[in-house]
Structure formats: C-alpha cells, structure tokens
Amino acid sequence: MLAGAVLSGCGADDQQAKDLKEARAKVQELTAEDTAADEALAAAKTLLVEITTYSWKEGDHEFAWLDKIAGAELKEKLAPNVPLLQEQIVKGKVTAKGTVVDSAARVVDETQIEVLAFVDQAITDETNKDIKIEEQRVSMTMKLVDDQWLVERLELLSGTNNEPVQ
C-alpha cells in the first residue's frame, strides 16, 4: 500500500512538471507576442508621422516611407500618385505635421500585428495660413520582414480621403 502511494505521488510530480513546462511555454509565447506588438506599434507610429508630415520646401516632401511598404500591390497603388502629390505640395506651398494621438495593437501572430491609429494632421498652405486639422483614422497591418516591421495593409477610415487603400 505504501508503494502504491509513493508511485501515485510520483505520477502527480510528473504531471506538475508537465503543467509547469506548458505554463512556461505559454508565458514565453505571450511575452514574445507582447514584444512584437510593442515593436510593430512603435514602427507604425513612426511611419504614420512620416507619411503625414511634409513641407513644400526642397527635399522635405520626399516619400522615402514607400520603402517601408511590404505589400507589392499596395506599393503599386501608392507609387503612381507620388509625383502628382509632390507637385501639388510644392505648387500650393503645403506644409503638414502629423501626430499620432492614440493607437492600439492586436496580435495576429508574432510576425503580423493589426494597428488602429488616430492621427491628427495640421495643414497650412499658401492660400490659408490658418492651421487646418485633418483627423485621420487608420487601420493597418504590420508584417515582420527580415527583422523589420513593414506595412502590409493600409486603410484610411476617416478624414477627407476615406477611401480604402489596399
């Protein structure tokens, strides 16, 4: 009888060890997801400020952020609009400053994060020196590619141009 109690006690120890191992694995997974969400959200916020901040002055209206677009289809949709947009920025002497007011991330997996961001863009131009605030609401998917967070999907949810860009 004593031998049976000892053996059943060993079985409980094995189960506890297995449960502990599974719990540690889950904690590691959740920690990795939290880290991914933090990194992707930081990259998204930086990129959104780059996208919404520009000036008509020489060199201040470049669109280098296009290199941070992962999806070829999205890049192909955005790239053709750049020359016209640059021309309009210079012609109208437009200056814009973007600020991410608030944002949140949802983990799909460690390499894909959904981001919702509220971006305010302060705009002035040659004809209107008063600052106009555009409130942009953006949904985007960030994808980890070669250790860099890039935009896979970008959709404007509100503002003057609220057509999805996908």
Q: According to the model, what pLDDT value does residue 163 have?
A: 43
Give the model confidence (pLDDT) of 13-59 as tens digits.
Answer: 788 888 777 878 777 777 778 999 999 999 999 999 999 999 888 76
Query: What is the CATH number assigned to the segment(s) 2-165?
Result: 3.10.450.50
Residue of higher predicted confidence among 76 and 122: 122
Any idea where the domains of the chain sit in the sequence?
2-165
% of the chain with per-residue pLDDT over 70 = 86
Q: What is the reported pTM?
A: 0.78
**Rounded to whole angstroms, what are the CA distances from 32 to 6, 44, 75, 143, 161?**
39, 18, 29, 15, 36
Give the model confidence (pLDDT) of 66-107 as tens digits.
Answer: 888 877 788 888 888 888 888 899 999 999 999 999 999 999
